[in-house]
Amino acid sequence: MLFMLKTYIAKPANVSNKEFYGVWRQESEAAMSGVKAGLIKGIWKVAGKPVIIVILDLPSVDDLDHAIAQLPIWKLGYSHIATELEITPLRPYENWAEDLKELSKG
């Protein structure tokens, strides 16, 4: 299953730049491992904003929960810096196109 994960990262006032960017660096290293393993199909940082967009390829929603729980931000106790987490399951458009054939019948 493909999932789009979009998260906004915010630096708490009581966290130093070194600590904040250090955790984010660990997160980026974990993401690059996910790319190499084929679990992450694409990952982007929105230019000029602390927003990360990831396309994940996981077998199930259970695996999605497990993957998120293994991320350094969560494992190290910094999940609060991911201020919003949007997860969208993605369906192949060709499957929808097939459904449209049936739906468009009068």
Return the CATH number at 48. Answer: 3.30.70.1060
**25 — pLDDT class (breaks 50, 70, 90):** very high
Q: What is the pTM of this model?
A: 0.87
CA 93 to CA 82: how far, in whole Å? 30
**What is the tens place of the pLDDT at every residue in 45-101?**
999 999 999 999 999 999 999 999 999 999 999 999 998 999 999 999 999 999 999
CA–CA distance from 45 to each of 5, 53, 68, 96 (Å)? Answer: 12, 6, 18, 29
Residue 22 lies in domain: 2-103
